[in-house]
Amino acid sequence: MLVPRRYRGLLIFAVVFAVVFFHFVRSHDWQIVFPGDYHDHHPHFPPPPGDLFSQNPPSLDFVPGPPPHQQTANTKQSHENANQVGVKTSGNGDGQAQNAGLGGSGLRKQQQKQGNQGKQKQGLSMFPVKRPPPHWKKVPEIFPLAPEERITLPTGQPKSLPKLQASFEVESVEEERKRLERLDDIRKTFEYAWNGYKSSAMGKDELKPLRGGYKDTFNGWGATVVDALDTLWVMGLEEEFALAVEHVKSIDFTTSEKLEIPVFETVIRYMGGLLGAYDISDQQYPVLLEKAVQLAEILMGAFDTPNRMPTLFYKWTPDQASRVHHASRRAVLAEIGSLSMEFTRLAQLTKDDKYYDAIARITNELESVQSSSKLPGLWPTKLDATGCEKPIPAHAVVRDVPSPSNSSTTPVLTPSARPAPTDIRSYTHYFERRGESGLAQDAQPADYEQLIKEKNPDSYIVPANSDCKGALITQNSYKDAFGLGAEADSTYEYLPKEYMLLGGLNDQYKSMYEKAMDTAREHLLFRPMVKHGRDIRFLATLDLSKPLAELQPNQIPTRYEATHLTCYAGGMFAVGSKLFGIDGDMDIAAKLTDGCVWAYESTYTGIMPETFLVIPCKKGESCTWDEARYKDALDPWREERLAAMQKLKEQAIEAKESQEVAVEADEPAATPEKNAVIYERNGVKRDATASQTTETPVPTGPRVKVTRRSLLSPLPGDPASALADDYVKTRIREERLPPGFVRMTDRRYLLRPEAIESVFIMYRLTGDNYWREKGWRMFEGISKHTRTNFAHSAIEDVTSMHPEFQDSMESFWLSETLKYFYLLFSEPSVVSLDEYVLNTEAHPLKRPT
């Protein structure tokens, strides 16, 4: 029987509904599914302190990792997401518990059995179960070293090194009262942040300081707890220190949901934190050293490469660790060169030379190539550490860079992709800000040269015929960056510190430091042009496509920038000056440190931004403030804009008149008729009768044809010049640029410690109270503008009256920044720099005596 037309729609809908309903009934369990753990958690309430550490560490029995094809996935994704495998079970929760404990083939058989059953049941009463993470297991080395091949710790009586700290006068009663009040304020700030972390993220890597919750950034072992250990001790917070030690006891470094270990960050935060706490507490807590050894045993696998250069993101799971791996072709200098102090101290405490051997081989490689880079004395920020390929001939990688149109001492800003404004209203809209950032819509990082970008820097295939036992390669790319800041900093910082940690028994570190600083003084150090004649210094960065010796002085691509990361250099120069007796470097140290203090004092918040550009003074010349030069740097495309405006004026006139006005200079000028109109050079109409004369001009030279274009050329007093000034003023206002700042390429403050680190060192080495007062002003600005309801947070824009929070509190806020503020106002005997040497995370390691 035919279905009436009016019921066809309902029939079709019923059929579709039935199919969909039947599908979902067969494929889903309608019970509540509980999600697994995530790495980025929102607020939760931890168990009471008494139960916080009651859980036993996971079993050390080996649980195999996921299949190889899953483990070779993009490593960046594996950083953010734990590798989870869903296991389906049927029946009640007992099946879940049983299967969670299965490993290897047993787990696969159970999954296969359930898969067969699923052909009939197909998902009834099933829900995903998170698979337990794998556990590390020691595997035989693929490239072992014979005991006689190991590089051993230097032996002998440590040298009597020069005293670093100044001799301090006895303070007055009023001075002591003032100092102790400030010390108490700093301690309370630390406790506020620490308590916020405890209440919402205890045992996790980082607190989310806006609404609570946590992030597991560094393998989930509790980076903030370990990083803050020695700060708790230094501040006399004994009960909190004991609580933190209890957490350390519960850490199981043999397992993590992340399948890679970031070696550098793990060494400076975890290993450095454990060893620093062990030393500063007079070695009263053996568990701290035990845990450092456990971690080091895992990390030693990263050095099991053909040339013993470490892979900096170590795949630690047993099936991955048992495979051949190589160091990176683009190894970051600061990462590969900043492992020495922690492994050296561990070797000293355990009397095991294998830890020292691991880093000594890196030092030997760095020394061997120090003079062969494009900038001899310094290393590029990226190195080829694979040892798998021969150095690329210079002619194969070096191409000529377009010659700069300006001298190397004048910043050239990247042109905007937007059309140039041609009137004051357009200029105003030209600076529309993105939200609260204070940046123009078209804002781009300024650069000083037009450089060709490197193509596919990370693409690399190990040559089949290579044994990969070669040396470091310093010229493995078209363009190499040379500087003391980002991606380089702690490698240079560790040279004098490692020398002290070894008791001066290895001159290798002294000679490497002296060579590096000789080059830095000559090619990186510069004075910026600032108001009021303040004599400060910053360190530039060079981007070299060919060796420096092949370039003319005005061809050297130089970034005249100031970065917060580089603020550590003042303290380093100060230590090097006293330790190695380098004349003049203490003055450089003071000027570098004061440069960062000036940057702090320049913003509304009293905080230095991450990165900004300045104008360098010309070497050998006086450096007084030059307003015209500053405006040129702020408006580098002024001439192009004025030319565009002039063209628009011409087009407007030509639209009104069809013929070009020509004046013959050798003909008598006709008497203008009443109300006749001519145009002045600026294109403004005037009444011709106002300039009538009674005499007829007599020609005195050849005939010259004067066109409308020449008549419209701007005069010195042209309004266009005023408009250019308006552009500069608008840019300063809209971007909130302090005097001397050309552009802020990164306006954030990330709770960084480098500036106060150098202020602290300058005070301890000179005894000058100037540094204490400057440090206190810095603390006031930082504590005021970073405080949240839970703790403290990085902020988006240091020039804003009400900066936005980033919801980030890295562990170095407690381990470094607040520790340096505290030590600045502590008695000089607290963590004396003549007794301890601080690693790059401010963990105090005991110097040999």
Among residues 185, 265, 454, 514, the one annotated as catalytic is: 265
Beta strands in 238-378 (DSSP E): 260-262, 313-315, 331-332
Q: How many helices (H) and strands (E) does the chain have?
A: 30, 21
Provide the token pair at 454.
């490197």
Question: Which of 284, 273, 281, 280 is closest to 251 using CA atoms?
Answer: 273
For the question of residue 660 being annotated catalytic, the response is no
Residue type, 574: A
Q: Is 731:427 a contact under the CB 8 Å cutoff?
A: no
Report the run of H or E that residue 383 belongs to, with start and end: strand 382-383
Provide the token pair at 47.
């168990």
Within 10 angstroms of residue 156's Cβ, the number of other Cβ atoms is 8
Q: Is 91:125 a contact under the CB 8 Å cutoff?
A: yes
User: What DSSP character marks residue 267?
Assistant: I
Q: Is 758:571 a contact under the CB 8 Å cutoff?
A: yes
Among residues 230, 304, 561, 610, the one annotated as catalytic is: 610
Output b/e per residue, 314-351; b: 16+ Cβ within 10 A: bbbbbbbbeeebbbbbbbbbbbbbbbbbbbbbbbbbee
Name 749's Cβ contacts closer than 8 Å, sequence gap at least 6: 564, 605, 607, 608, 609, 610, 782, 785, 786, 794, 795, 798, 803
Q: Is 296:114 a contact under the CB 8 Å cutoff?
A: no
3-state secondary structure of 290: helix
Among residues 227, 561, 594, 754, the one annotated as catalytic is: 754
Residue 671, marked binder: no
For the question of residue 583 being annotated catalytic, the response is no
Report the run of H or E that residue 8 belongs to, with start and end: helix 8-27
Q: At 741, phi and psi to the nearest 5?
A: -85, 125
Among residues 489, 561, 585, 797, the one annotated as catalytic is: 489
Q: Burial of 368 by CB count in 10 Å (0-12 exposed, 13-18 middle, 19+ buried)?
A: exposed
Q: Is 213:41 a contact under the CB 8 Å cutoff?
A: yes
CA dihedral 558, 561, 567, 571 (to 10 degrees): 40
For the question of residue 489 being annotated catalytic, the response is yes
Annotated binding site: 840
**Active site residues per annotation:** 265, 489, 610, 754
Annotated binding site for Ca(2+): 840
